[in-house]
């Protein structure tokens, strides 16, 4: 379960939020697997976001990770958001951008990551992702680096 608190306003020059509370519920499941000599995990989740200003949304994610060496894992993720906004009715004549609430968007993206275990408590993640489908969203790629401390 999730709750988005109003941290911004759509009336600011650069809107940092909708200014209202949104609610979200999701279900996730997954587990380990072994395929020949490869060990890994899979995870999937889906949810519904009830928005007070903007169209409601479905959220989804599918993830798989495979250990390719003692301290190295390859991870693949596909995730996205499906908005129930009426994008066709809201499309303006200027460049095909949508003139609904600025936060209404649908998108799907993939990420491929290498996760290196620096120690039993610390992982380093390096990856690349790309948005491959969307409405009122940028189609862009991004490199990422992250550190996870585990306890």
pLDDT computed for residue 79 by the predictor? 97
pLDDT, tens digit, 9 for 90 and up, residues 67-126? 999 999 999 999 999 999 877 765 554 455 545 455 788 999 999 999 999 999 999 999
The Cα 75–Cα 77 span in angstroms is 7
pLDDT computed for residue 49 by the predictor? 94
pLDDT, tens digit, 9 for 90 and up, residues 65-82? 999 999 999 999 999 999
If DSSP states are collapsed to H, E and C, what string results for 73-107?
EEEEEEEEEEECCCHHHHECCCCCCECCCCCCCEE
């Amino acid at each position: 379960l999730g709750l988005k608190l109003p941290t911004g306003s759509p009336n600011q020059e650069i809107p940092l939020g909708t200014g209202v509370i949104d609610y979200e519920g999701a279900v996730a499941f997954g587990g380990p697997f072994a395929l020949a000599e490869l060990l890994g995990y899979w995870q999937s989740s889906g949810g519904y976001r009830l928005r007070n200003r903007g169209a409601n949304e479905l959220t989804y994610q599918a993830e798989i990770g495979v250990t390719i060496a003692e301290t190295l894992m390859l991870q693949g993720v596909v995730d996205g958001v499906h908005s129930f906004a009426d994008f066709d009715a809201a499309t303006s004549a200027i460049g095909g951008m949508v003139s609904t609430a600025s936060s209404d968007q649908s998108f799907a993206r993939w990420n491929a990551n290498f996760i290196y275990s620096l120690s039993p408590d610390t992982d380093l993640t390096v990856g690349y992702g790309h948005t491959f489908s969307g409405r009122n969203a940028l189609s862009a790629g991004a490199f990422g680096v992250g550190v996870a401390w585990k306890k």
